[in-house]
Each structure stands twice: as structure tokens, then as C-alpha cells.
Amino acid sequence: MWKPVWIPTRPSQCCQILLVLGMVARTQGQIPRSCATDWHISNRTCCPRWWGDGSPCGSASKRGYCQELALSSPWPAGQVGEGGAMDFRLAWPSYFFSRLCVCQQRYGGVDCGECAHGWVGSQCQQQHLVQRQDLWQMSVPERDLFLDRLLLAKQTVSSRYVIYASSSRQPASPFRFQDASLYNVFAWAHYLCAKPRGDGQPGIYAHRGPAFPSWHRLYLLSFEREMRNLTGDRDFYLPYWTWAGQQSCDVCTDNLFGSNDAQGFLNPNSRFRNWLTFCSGEGVHELDFGLVCPPGATLRIRRHPDVNRGLGGLPSRQDVKLSLQLHSYDSTPYNERALSSFRNTLEGYLLPGDPSILYPSMHNMVHFVCGGTMSSLTYSSNDPLFLTHHAFIDKIFEMWLRAHPENAHVYPTDPLVPPGHRADDAMPPFIPVARNQDFMRSSLEFGYTYSNMTI
């Protein structure tokens, strides 16, 4: 249920982590603005010079090197832009680039000019840990500052990334890149990965498969990194909304994420009353990979809390506890029909009390209960509530990793795992690239943890 390509502007300022080839992934970004040129696309190279030493990928300082991508199934030579609808997410990012910066350990960014997640300092030599707090544990001034910064992100055009949008369904149509606000860049990324596969095969990216927790973990880390660059606050974090056990959306008030009227529109006293969705309209392009974020009408954020209560209310604390007891990370067929699977239960396709029964729960149920924009697979990330909901999902994922250390790094390698969700598949639309399996690691390795690791 419930996303055009993403690119950094000034190569040296992308505090991201990079992992490519066989290294541990450290990443953030999508198609960097510095690489969104005819020259870079025609030469299939995205190896910007680092301002610190003037060399591509900071190679003179041994921060990284411009290398050929090693992908399990890159685009066949001569087929880029030819044939039918080309799904550029397949073998990401080889549709656009075959050579990118590969950063040495602790360095990151599109040009290796930044530090990997969890590291700071001129030589990225110091570890740095940030603690994500529960929304209700924050003081009122802290919550107000966080919410005002979300407004800033919605209003500020990203200086580091542009997005890719389809100009036409026709094969070999020219690439079209356009500006977007920092927040909308991320709304676009989720919209992109909720679209059906362009090769006609079942399944989608980032959802309904083993990559669900990994992709969303990288999504949140990337958003935090961009917000730190925007605000100058290296300790900026995304708080989490503990919805477990709540009778209703307790953060859907005008001093937080906004209450709504009978039509679902946010009330005038809400900060977010004038927010418009991005890459949305009344058409069907969300189900058409031939069109990616075409021009069209935008919509106001809407919510319909409890409209789907017939399926059940918000998940209980017991639901979370039962989910954490599941031993297996995932199981065949590695999609929304996988049984006795922690991932599929967390995503919300299994009943936590009996993971042999397919029934809406956990992550999915929260989207259902909130209704409106949040209940749309493609547009849900347009609602600011999405970020704090997924921060709690990530916390549950982290609790499972710590509770099952024997399985913590065991990402499925079964040949039945669908394309886009395989262990070594790169996660679109992030550049530098990162593999699905690389984010199935403790959050401590990425420079963050959570307050109160209990339910």
C-alpha cells in the first residue's frame, strides 16, 4: 500500500556514508546535483572533485577513488535508454552511472568529502553517537524546534540534490532533472520506490520484502544528515512516535502534527495546514512506471483517523512484544505472504499473535488508522507524521537485532528473494550506493541509538 532520481549539489558537503563493491555501506544521497549534467550522464561517471584537495573523490588525500561499479546484474551494454519502459531502479544506479566514488572506511559522501554515519572530525577520526528520543520525552521547546525545522525543510529548495522526472513515456526520452525542497526530495524517494516494477514482474522496491527495514533505515539516516547540513546542528535527530498501546493518534493535535476537520483537512491552527503533497495528483501515474512525477495538481495533507478501525485500532504493546519474539528475520516466499517472519510481521502483513495468519498489523495498521495521505503507499511520506512513525518502526527493528544477535547480520541470500530485495542489491535512489544487507546492523554502527530500549 503506501515514490524522479536524487542528486547532491556541492560534492564536499554531503555528510553521507558510502559503501560500494564489497565494503560496508555508508551512504546517503541520490543522483548528486553535481552529476546531473549532460557530460556526467553521457560519460556515465559521477566522481566529483573534493574541494579539500581538488582531486576526484579526494583520491589525493586517500579518502576515496573513482571506480567501476561491481554489480551483480548491471544494465547490458547498449540497452540504456532503448527498448520499452526502462526501470532505472534495477541494478541501481547503473542506468545512469557506471563509475562512482568508492570511499575508504569512515569517509563518505558523493565525493568522499564527508564522514560516514557516526563519525566526525576533519579526518573522520572521532565516533559520535546521537540518541533518538520519544516525542513525549522531549520538552515543549524541543518539540517546537523539531516541528519548525520540518517546516524549514519543506520550504527550502535542496542545494545538494535534484530529482529525476519523466518527460515522456517514450523510450530514449531525454533525462529531466528539477529542483525540489529538501523535504520533497525525500517524499519523492519514497514515491519512487513504491511504484510497481517496470519489467512487469510482481513486487516493488523497499516494501513487501526483506529490504523493508534496511531501506527505511537508510531513508531516515539520510534525512537526518540533510537536516544537519541545513541547520548546522550535528545532533539533529528524528524523534519517534510510540503509537503502541495508544487508543488513537495522540500526536494528531494542533500543537504537534495537526488535528483534522470532517473532510480530513488539517485545521487552521496546525503548522502543517498549508502543506501540499509532492508528485501527486488525481491521475494514475503512481501505478505507471512510464511516468515519474509528471506535472500535475498538488493536494493538501489529509488524515482520517479511525476510518479503518474496522480492521482494528493502533497496534498494542503486546503486538510489539510478540513480534520481537519471532526468531526468523524472513521466510519464503520473501514477500507479503511470508509466514513466521519478523520482517513481514513488522511491516504489517501478519498477525503478531499468530504469524501464520495474514492480517493487517504493526506498520501497515498505523498507516490504515491514520488514514488520508498516510494510508496511500505512494504519498504517505508527504505527511510529516510519516517520519516519527518510521522512527518507531526502526526502533523495533533495532530491538529485534539486539534481542537476536545470532541472526542480527543474517540477511536472506535465498535465490527466491525477489530482485530489488536481494542482499547485494543496491538501494535506489541513493548515491553513494548501499546494499540491502549493509543496514541490517546495529544502529550503534551508524552513530545513533534510542532512549528506553523497552516496550
pLDDT at 168: 61
Helix (H, G, I), strand (E, B) or coil at 426: strand
pLDDT at 279: 85
pLDDT at 37: 86
Per-residue pLDDT tens digits for 392-401: 999 999 999 9
pLDDT at 95: 83
pLDDT at 364: 96
pLDDT at 310: 59
Per-residue pLDDT tens digits for 97-115: 889 999 998 999 999 999 9
More confident residue, 114 or 32: 114
- Per-residue burial over 65-99, b if 16 or more Cβ lie within 10 Å, else e, is bbeebebeebbeeeebeeeebbbbbbbbbbbbbbb
- Strand order through the sheet with 45-46: 45-46, 99-103, 64-68
pLDDT at 313: 86
| 103 within 8 A of 116, measured Cβ to Cβ | yes
Output the nine-digit C-alpha cell for 80.
Answer: 540504456
Per-residue pLDDT tens digits for 234-256: 999 999 999 999 988 999 999 99
Q: Residue 273: pLDDT above 90? A: yes
What is the C-alpha separation between 421 and 386, in angstroms, rounded?
22
- Burial label for 344, CB within 10 Å (0-12, 13-18, 19+), is buried
Q: Residue 295: pLDDT above 50? A: yes
Q: What is the pLDDT confidence band of residue 50, given thresholds at 50, 70 and 90?
A: very high
Neighbours of 454 (CB within 10 A): 7
Q: Residue 20: pLDDT above 70? A: no
CA dihedral 287, 30, 84, 280 (to 10 degrees): 30
pLDDT at 236: 98
Per-residue pLDDT tens digits for 348-382: 999 999 999 999 999 999 999 999 999 988 889 99
Per-residue pLDDT tens digits for 188-221: 999 999 888 877 777 889 999 999 999 999 999 9
What is the C-alpha separation between 107 and 127, in angstroms, rounded?
12
**Single-letter amino acid, residue 375:** S
| 373 within 8 A of 362, measured Cβ to Cβ | no
What is the C-alpha separation between 347 and 127, in angstroms, rounded?
31
What is the C-alpha separation between 330 and 346, in angstroms, rounded?
11
Identify which of 349, 30, 1, 8 has the alpha carbon closest to the alpha carbon of residue 186: 30
Of 277-291, 341-355, 378-392, which range is least confident?
277-291
More confident residue, 257 or 288: 257
pLDDT at 150: 98
pLDDT at 3: 31
More confident residue, 3 or 116: 116
| 439 within 8 A of 217, measured Cβ to Cβ | yes
Per-residue pLDDT tens digits for 172-183: 555 678 899 999
Q: H-helix or E-strand containing 220?
A: helix 212-231
